[in-house]
Amino acid sequence: MSDKIIIFDTTLRDGEQALNASLSVHEKLQIALAIERLGVDVMEVGFPVSSPGDFESVQKIAATIKNSRVCALSRAIEGDIKACGDALSVAEQFRIHTFISTSDVHVKEKLRCDFQDVLDMAVKAVKYARTFTDDVEFSCEDAGRTPIDNLCRMVEMAIKAGATTVNIPDTVGYTLPDEFSGIITQLFNRVPNIDQAVISVHCHNDMGLAVANSLAAVNAGARQIECTVNGIGERAGNAALEEIAMILRTREKQLNLSTNIKHTEISRTSKLVSHLCNMPVQANKAIVGGNAFSHSSGIHQDGVLKSRSTYEIMTPESVGINQNKLNLTSRSGRHVIKHRMAELGYLETDFDLEELYKDFLILADKKGQVFDDDLEAMLFMEQQDHKQDHYKLDYLSVQSGLNVIATASIQLSTGDKTAEKAATGNGPVDALFSAIRQAIDFEFDVVSYRISAKGEGEDSLGQVELIVAWQGRNFHGFGLATDIIEASAKALVHVLNNIYRAQTVALLKQQSQAPTNVNTG
């Protein structure tokens, strides 16, 4: 029997903190549900003291998720730990993760104290966290650059204080695989109470070694790996969950290690995270890149046609990629759409068949043929929570062309008021955004605007991803339509609704005097 590796997913904490625009509570919940279905053992879903929005999303996820243990992050500070305890207390069982830096450079330059102070703070923090839960994880931030004697002392004291998991992060992605496994081996050889906690690793990918370092560490005895979907995270990101899971599955016999990950959920989860986080996956990314299972050269194609095993060490089906193509047209009935969605790995509860079918028919009439990508894109749009929308675009007309001044007219509903506005601009999107600006009562800056084709063919859907800055925070919006101006309008209205939700949450929290705005160390 192979040994189980605990998969600790930190997409919604380390991953989310590195995004250009923070996710809404609804979006975080969608990701949490997908990660639960993926089969992760523990999910770290936020840093509750950092903002009222984070507190609210941690609480909501903790109340919803049943099959993975939910965890939240705190510095080794009483207020942070209490915020975790308060946000997580709605769950039957939960984990508090507290951390402090242990490397010389962090202790001296960042914390400006000495190692004994850090030891004392860590012990106090772990003991306090244990008053909320018996599942406490302690991390030695920048462990990869911490003198080994100090690291051994810290790990021993944290376990003595009650930590049940001790995490050894390579915070800056500096170590080499042999070096990192050497650190883990020394801990196992020198820390007398090491058998009383699970040893975890958390590797960053600054030199592209996060996955290799994580594997080296489990070979030396670590039994928890911290990782993120698509490897998103600070700077170059974290170890990629899908790579870890597929390595352990593909080489299980040699490694004698396994996980609880449901591999066929990988592709679907990766797409959802990429879409909601506005983080495209590079085409040649292992496991989830668009080209990860395509064979380009004639020699390879010839080999694969003779036997897939010539060039495929994993099948696309094993990560949930469905290779069969179906010709969907406006003549396809509801049952065909339902069947196709099931083949793509979606549960009936993931979508409203009537809504999806309605959108499908409109698109099929416009495009003739509808592809899997189109279906998934429509599903993602449908999953946006429009019921609560404060801003709604009722009407849009745009004129543009050669030697014509681009002009846009719109009607926008804001709560129970409506405004009709018209504006010109140096192009149709500029005119459209100017008209919408006139209809709202606050200023914003467009940070980035990206348009891409979703699906196959000339008549594929246009997808607009927008980042807007408002009061020092970035907000993300997404729009999809066969008309790229309509897609741009939808993306901006999506952003406006996300800003409105953030304003409402901040107001509610101000009224209840919750702690606000600190950043992870």
Residues lying near Zn ion in the complex (CB under 5 A) are found at: 14
Q: Is the dihedral of CA 260, 266, 271, 277 positive or negative?
A: positive
Q: Which does 141 bind (CB under 5 to 8 A by kind): Zn ion, ligand KIV, none?
A: ligand KIV
Beta-bridge partners for 411: 395, 420
**Which residues in 70-129 contact ligand KIV (CB under 6 A)?**
99
| Three-state DSSP string of 261-274 | CCHHHHHHHHHHHH
Interface characters, 248-287, with ligand KIV (x: CB under 6 A): ----------------------------------------
Q: Which does 501 bind (CB under 5 to 8 A by kind): ligand KIV, Zn ion, none?
A: none
Interhelix angle for 177-190 vs 148-161, to 10°? 50
Nearer to ligand KIV, 202 or 275 (CB): 202
**Least spacing, CB of residue 10 vs ligand KIV, in Å:** 7
By CB under 6 A, tell whether 139 contacts ligand KIV: yes
Distance CA 461, CA 491 (A): 14
Nearer to Zn ion, 12 or 337 (CB): 12
Interhelix angle for 148-161 vs 115-130, to 10°? 30
Q: Which does 428 bind (CB under 5 to 8 A by kind): Zn ion, ligand KIV, none?
A: none
CA dist list (Å): 334 to 322, 414, 450, 481: 20, 35, 33, 21
**Least spacing, CB of residue 144 vs ligand KIV, in Å:** 9
Nearer to ligand KIV, 139 or 434 (CB): 139
φ, ψ for residue 476 (rounded to 5)?
A: -110, 140
Part in contact with ligand KIV (CB under 6 A); list of ranges 104-112, 163-171, 185-193, 419-427: 163-171
Q: Is 284 exposed, middle or buried (0-12, 13-18, 19+ CB in 10 A)?
A: exposed
**Least spacing, CB of residue 295 vs Zn ion, in Å:** 35
CA dist list (Å): 409 to 163, 399, 437: 60, 9, 12
428, 408 contact by CB (below 8 A): yes
By CB under 6 A, tell whether 169 contacts ligand KIV: yes
Nearer to ligand KIV, 72 or 468 (CB): 72
Residue 428: which residues within 8 A CB-CB, separation 6 or more? 398, 399, 400, 406, 408, 485
CA dist list (Å): 260 to 6, 50, 215: 8, 31, 16
**Least spacing, CB of residue 169 vs ligand KIV, in Å:** 3
Q: Select the residue interacting with ligand KIV from 69, 106, 202, 340 (CB under 6 A).
A: 202
Q: Which does 454 bind (CB under 5 to 8 A by kind): ligand KIV, Zn ion, none?
A: none
Nearer to Zn ion, 14 or 80 (CB): 14
Q: Select the residue interacting with ligand KIV from 51, 68, 150, 171 (CB under 6 A).
A: 171
Q: How many CB atoms lie within 10 A of CB 434?
A: 19
Nearer to Zn ion, 204 or 271 (CB): 204
Nearer to ligand KIV, 139 or 400 (CB): 139
By CB under 6 A, tell whether 44 contacts ligand KIV: no
Nearer to ligand KIV, 121 or 506 (CB): 121
Nearer to Zn ion, 14 or 486 (CB): 14
Nearer to Zn ion, 14 or 27 (CB): 14
Strand order in the sheet with 404-414: 391-401, 404-414, 417-425
Q: Which does 139 bind (CB under 5 to 8 A by kind): ligand KIV, Zn ion, none?
A: ligand KIV
Q: Which of 122, 161, 167 is nearest to 144 (CA)?
A: 167
* Block residue for tokens 């309605």: 358
Length of the chain in terms of residues written: 521
Part in contact with ligand KIV (CB under 6 A); list of ranges 166-174, 265-273, 438-446, 460-468: 166-174
356, 378 contact by CB (below 8 A): yes
Distance CA 237, CA 227 (A): 9
Nearer to Zn ion, 146 or 498 (CB): 146
Q: Which does 274 bind (CB under 5 to 8 A by kind): ligand KIV, Zn ion, none?
A: none
Q: Which does 214 bind (CB under 5 to 8 A by kind): Zn ion, ligand KIV, none?
A: none
Q: Which of 400, 351, 348 is nearest to 375 (CA)?
A: 351
Q: Which does 99 bind (CB under 5 to 8 A by kind): Zn ion, ligand KIV, none?
A: ligand KIV
**Least spacing, CB of residue 235 vs ligand KIV, in Å:** 10
Q: Which does 376 bind (CB under 5 to 8 A by kind): ligand KIV, Zn ion, none?
A: none
Part in contact with ligand KIV (CB under 6 A); list of ranges 34-42, 164-172, 387-395, 438-446: 164-172
Residue 510: which residues within 8 A CB-CB, separation 6 or more? 52
> Which helix (H) or strand (E) element contains residue 72?
strand 69-75
Q: Is 16 exposed, middle or buried (0-12, 13-18, 19+ CB in 10 A)?
A: buried
**Binding residues vs ligand KIV (CB under 6 A):** 14, 99, 139, 141, 167, 169, 171, 202, 204, 520
